[in-house]
Amino acid sequence: MTINGKEYSWADIQFAFLGRAVLGVVAIKYGEKRDRKFIRAVGNKPVAYANGSPDCNGSITVLQSEFEAIVAAAKAAGKTPTTLAPFDIITQYLDDSNLMIKDICKSVLTLEWEKASKQGDLNMEVEIPFTCAEIELQAA
């Protein structure tokens, strides 16, 4: 077996949103879902198919200190974390040959947040689910 290169890892990821590089991200997930159906007419086999509109969503988990920075940015704009104006989340992956892959979750709307901590925790993480207008993979 020949190993042709290194896979992207967590250490290769950089994040930016709300106008700055963000270091306190501990997890991110994002994706697109689209309703697709076969159209049936005469007989018992499909005669065509149709595509619905895409639904893009995800979540980002940040350290509490990063969440407090989000709260401060929201307050400065007279908002709360769930009423912020739409913003982009930029996720960049850098490989060993310095090839940058950039994904952009465009027009993110945060949906909820919850703080929680329990005995024995060494830090607090806050998960922030979101929806977005579009996900641009391999953005220029």
Distances (CA, A) of 86 to 37, 74, 110: 31, 11, 8
How far is residue 91's CA from residue 130's CA, in Å, rounded to a whole number? 15
- Looking at residue 123, what is its pLDDT? 95
What are the beta bridge partners of residue 15? Answer: 22, 91
Whole-prediction pTM value?
A: 0.87
- pLDDT averaged over the chain? 93
Residue written as token pair 């689209």: 34
14-28, 42-56, 91-105: least confidently modelled range:
91-105
pLDDT tens-digit profile of 70-107?
Answer: 999 999 999 999 999 999 999 999 877 778 899 999 99
